[in-house]
Structures are given as structure tokens and as C-alpha cells.
Structure 1
Amino acid sequence: MTGTLRWFKSSYSSDSGGECLEVARCPQTPTAIHIRDSKNPDGPNLTVSGHAWAHFIGGAAR
């Protein structure tokens, strides 16, 4: 399932390396948010609910 995901990074991320996360929405389950390490795209990923992701983003923006 994760092979069909469209991953993206924040517009604040650069291509110069560092620690970046990529996120993707699942087409089959739109409420699922997948998160992975951009330096290890074939590695494991974490799946959270859209509600949990919104809380995370809200806390990070403070």
C-alpha cells in the first residue's frame, strides 16, 4: 500500500540534507497520515490518524 503514496516534504525543507520528514495521505484511507525519514525512504514509516497529525502540527507551530 505505501508504494502508491505521494510523499512530500515541508516547503521549509531544503535539499541540503539534514533531518527531514516526508508525509503522505493514503488514497484508500484518507484519514491515515504516513510519516517517514526522507533519508531512508525504503525504511519503516509511522501511520497516525489525521486527528493526531493535526494536534502534532498545531503543537509544532507554537
Structure 2
Amino acid sequence: MFDPSRWDDPEIANKARLLMHFGLEGRRCIGKTVAMTNIYKFMSTILSEFDFELADEAERV
């Protein structure tokens, strides 16, 4: 279950700074553009295979 409130915990929020997958500023990964393009292509391909609809109010938990 997706729970965005998990970032409210200060201990977990402090770990978010460690999520620099492609580096920062001058030491940034040179393959970032290619990787991001592949991620967008992959996600759009996968999402096009599914049908989405809103859940009934009774089913939301």
C-alpha cells in the first residue's frame, strides 16, 4: 500500500538525502539522460497494458 505519510517520521525523512541515484552537480552520471529515457519508455509501455478505473468508495482502505 502506498503510504506517503511514512516520510513524516524524522528518522526516515533524514534517509531521503541518501537517494541520489545519479549523483549531484559536477559528479552526475553521464548516462542519466539515457537511463531516464529508458525508464519513461518502459513505464509508458507497461502502463499501456493495463486498464485503470477508480475503486468504489466501499473498497477503499
Is the structural similarity TM-score above 0.5? no
How high is the TM-score relative to the length of structure 1?
0.32
How high is the TM-score relative to the length of structure 2?
0.32
For the pair shown, the structure with the greater C-alpha radius of gyration is 2
Higher strand share: 1
